[in-house]
Structure 1
Amino acid sequence: MKFYSPSEKIKLMRKKFSINQADLESVNMTRAFISMMESGKRNVSKAGLQKLVSKFKELAMKNSITLDIDDEYFSRQPKEDARLYIEKELIRNNEHMELDKLTKIAIDFEIYDLLSKIYEMNAEKFLAENEFINAFINFNLALEKLQQTSVNSGQALLSKQLGVCKERLGEYIEAIYYFKQAIEYSLKESNTIIYFKSSRNLAIAYAKSAQYSSCIQTVDENILNSTIKASKEILIDARITKATALANLNDDNGLKEYLSLVDEVGDTNDLALSFLYNNISEFYYRKDDYKKSLEYANKAHVLKSKVNRVALPNTLNVKGKVFLKLGLVQEGTMMFDLAASIAEENKTFDMLLDNYKALISIYESKEDLKEVMKRFENLLLYKKSIL
């Protein structure tokens, strides 16, 4: 994409209409004056350049041509035109290829605030496509470029999204680092929405890395006991996360909180309800109550199939483990296979790993080395494909 100086624009526009400088003459705009404008030797007032716009529009109308330029067209320098072009293009739902073209323009003209925005948009698209490594790279670039500008907001959001990418990749220690960064930035930016979301995500990352005490502390200090009231969604998520940590510590208060939340949520939030049913199922499984575990796993299965298929492998994994305990090895194997397939489809490595571990254990017990090697090879190929 080429952007022109004011003098170049006048010259190109004149060539477009096949007219000479004399054709543009008018009151207070002599041929010599126009010649100096084209050569860049004379600064012209905005009023004078607006007259030039009007003159070209008159010529366009006479030739039945639509000329889509504004009054500032001949006043803008190439960098200003580049900024305007990028801003207009970003309004559209651009694909990666188009965003890459805008990236080059922004780099060429050192428009770092918009460059940060382009990287962020690219990252969000990669995240929606489950391309977590590419998403992380672009969020990181967005943050780097934003820090080169005078813009004082946005770093909290980008840090949170970096944490989300790491959490999706199963890299919980790094996720914890970025969520903590997001919390720090959110306090500086007075962004309570990002503060609560990052605090929730931090607690979840602690839980997933088996740091249950830190999880409970984060939920209590940052959300439940905060002087600023969080949204209902955040409060429910926080209570579920805390209950999960308690349950993993074999504290029966975790189950009590799950059941209390089921009553509170009712049929108003299928997503939250699907997580609650899943977690209750896991709790009963650890207590060796397989009938109850399967009952709640089935409820979670139905809801997750409708509202959160990405998280379905967790529930299928619990069902698979219950089936194994009941001696239903074939049914258990089917659950783990389906869970692994969905996890691979959605690029959720932690879920894929859990279900492959279960499958490998089954085939090892059968001394089916061929299937064991097949699972190991699949896992290695998958890991290689995302690096």
Structure 2
Amino acid sequence: MEFSTQGERLKKIRKMLKMKQRELQDKNITRGFISMIESGRSTMSKETASAIAKKLNKRAKEIGINLNIDGKYLLMTPAEEAEYYCIQKLKEINNEEDLSKVNGLLEIAEKYGRKRVNALISIKIGDIMYNANKYIDAILNYNKALELLMMYGFKEQIPYVYNMLGVCKMNITDYAEAIFYFDKAMSFADEINDKSIRNKAIYNISLCYKHIGKYDVAIEYVEKFLKDCNKSHELINYIYASSIKANCFRAMGFLEKSLDVYKNLLNDVNDEDSIAGFIYSNIGEIYGDLNDYEKSLEYLHKAEKIRRSKDEKSLSHTLIEKANVLFKIGNIKESIRLMEEGISTANKNNDIKYIIIGNYRLADIYKQLNDREKAINTYNKILEVAKNINSIKELLKIHIKLSILYLEDDNVDKCKNHLSKADKIVESVRP
């Protein structure tokens, strides 16, 4: 595909609009000057380009064409127009089925030496992989983009890419790596004054610290986020950030304090909003911690009803928590059914965290029922997930759990096998 010089572009648009050269002239622009521009014997200033663009847009509107160009577009070199074209086409690529269109854009970027386009293509592919919950593929593409952005000094997209790398790492439960990337996102966001990415990174860091049990640090970051959060305009963000604080209180044993945070949040939402399902689910979990199983199931049922109709992606969280409560009150059959549905839903959405949580809880149920075979099979499912995401922490944990199970069954060979694999993992990360 070929792109135009300034003169060629102006002539092409003028002819498309069936305009004469004299129709573009005014007191500062002669017909002869228009002719010189179109033949490549002269160039336009910013002011001239802006004035001509207005005339072209006016004619386009009169004949029902949505042109909407500006002076910057008319002044583009062929290489700049190639980049502009690629960026516009990237907006049309929104899912994996569209990715076949990328090859043509890569050819244009290569021909015109537009490295920024290469980086933006990798970001777009990363975004599509992330939205498809294919976090490893997303990480590969974000890293490819980051290398180009850093090499050629395209700073504008760097904070976004670092933040998305952190989000991907967080979704595969690699929280230490995630914090590293979020710190980088904050640093580069500060450098270019990108407050939006900075706030997202602060929120995400608080979430990571909560996951690794550093609750005081998590609350500190949450307070930073809430300080800059406009509740009336960013209610969802406010609710999610407040929930991190509430869950830290819960983990620290301050259950009533945690419950108060969530109940206060209910005042800000409609009863049927999808976000209400999130709040109800958390309240149900806290009542479970308080051993008030009747209230726990009441709120988890409300959450399940909302999430089945409006938030299927998060449904697994509620189903797995509800199954846990049902097991505690002795409803074993329904507990197992609901736990399996929750795990299936988590698998469908590639929700790594709840695939792992659900399978651990299901294995615990089978162990308490003394069904060793099903417990081992369930642990092996976790093992496969841990291998796929290359989680050292989960691999080590599951090999140890399997070795203990086999030891309890007097299966010494299999016990030794898993202990040996755990030992190799430890050796592989030892400095």
TM range (shorter): 0.7 to 0.9
Q: Distance in 2 between matches of 1:168 and 1:82?
A: 36
Q: Residue 177 of structure 2: SS of its match in structure 1?
A: helix
Q: 1:108 to 1:168 in 2, by over 3 A?
A: farther
* SS in structure 1 of the partner of residue 155 of structure 2: coil
Partner of 1:223: 225
- CA gap 1:91/1:247 in 2 versus in 1, 3 angstroms: closer
Q: 1:240 to 1:84 in 2, by over 3 A?
A: closer
Cα gap change, 1:182 to 1:80, in 2 (>3 Å): closer
Deviation at 1:373, TM superposition (A): 3.5
Structure 2 equivalent of residue 69 of structure 1: none
Residue in 2 aligned with 1:186? 189
Question: Which of residues 34, 39, 53 in structure 2 aligns to 1:48?
Answer: 39
Residue 267 (structure 2) pairs with residue 263 (structure 1): yes
- Matched letter for residue 227 of structure 2: N
Is residue 156–residue 183 contact of structure 1 (8 Å, CA) maintained in 2? Answer: yes
The aligned residue for residue 250 of structure 1 is 253
State the match for 1:370 in structure 2: 373
Matched, 1:289 2:292: yes
Which string of whole-angstrom CA distances, capped at 9 and with x for unpartnered residues, describes residues 327-375 of structure 1? 1111111111111111111111111111111111222233333323332
Select the structure of larger CA radius of gyration: 1
Correspondence 1:141-180 to 2 at 5 A: 141-180=144-183
Is the contact between residue 3 and residue 81 of structure 1 (CA under 8 Å) also seen in structure 2? no
In structure 2, runs of 5+ residues without a counterpart are 6-35, 42-72, 391-431
- Secondary structure of the equivalent of 1:264? coil
- Unpaired runs of 5+ in structure 1? 7-44, 51-71
* Kept after mapping to 1: 8 A contact 2:320/2:339: yes
Aligned partner of residue 291 in structure 2, secondary structure: coil
Task: Supply the AA of the counterpart residue of 2:90.
Answer: L
Distance 1:200 1:232 in 2: 14
Matched, 1:90 2:94: no
Once residues 153 and 178 of structure 2 are traced to their aligned partners in structure 1, the CA distance between those partners, rounded to angstroms, is 27
SS at match of 2:152: coil
How many Å separate the matches in 1 of 2:265 and 2:88? 46
1:312-327 mapped onto 2 (5 Å cutoff):
312-327=315-330
Change (3 A) 1:383 1:104: farther
Does the Cα contact within 8 Å between 1:237 and 1:272 map onto a contact in 2? Answer: no
* CA deviations over 1:70-105 (Å, ceiling 9, x no partner): xx99x976x567535534532423622322443354
TM-score where L is the length of structure 1: 0.75
Q: Following superposition of structure 1 onto structure 2, how do residues 274-353 of structure 1 map, counting pairs within 5 Å?
A: 274-353=277-356
Q: Which has the higher contact order (CA 8 A, sep 6+)?
A: 1
CA 1:232–1:377: 2 relative to 1, 3 Å: closer
Aligned partner of residue 334 in structure 1, secondary structure? helix
Which of 207, 212, 216 lines up with 1:213 in the alignment? 216
- Let me know the Cα RMSD of the aligned residues: 2.9
**Contact 2:277 2:303 (8 Å CA) reproduced:** yes
Task: Return the letter of the residue paired with 1:262.
Answer: L
Which residue identity is paired with 2:244?
T
**Is contact 1:112–1:148 with CA below 8 Å preserved after alignment?**
no
> Residue 155 of structure 1 contacts residue 182 of structure 1 at CA under 8 Å; is this kept in 2?
yes
**Amino acid of the residue matched to residue 243 of structure 1?**
A
Could you give the per-residue CA deviations for residues 141-166 of structure 1, whole angstroms, max 9, x where no partner exists?
A: 22221223343322111111111111
Instruction: Look up the match of 1:123.
Output: 126
- Indicate yes or no: 2:369 matched with 1:361: no
Q: Give the structure-2-normalised TM-score.
A: 0.68
Structure 1 residue 216: deviation in Å? 0.4
Contact 1:156/1:186 (<8 A) preserved: yes
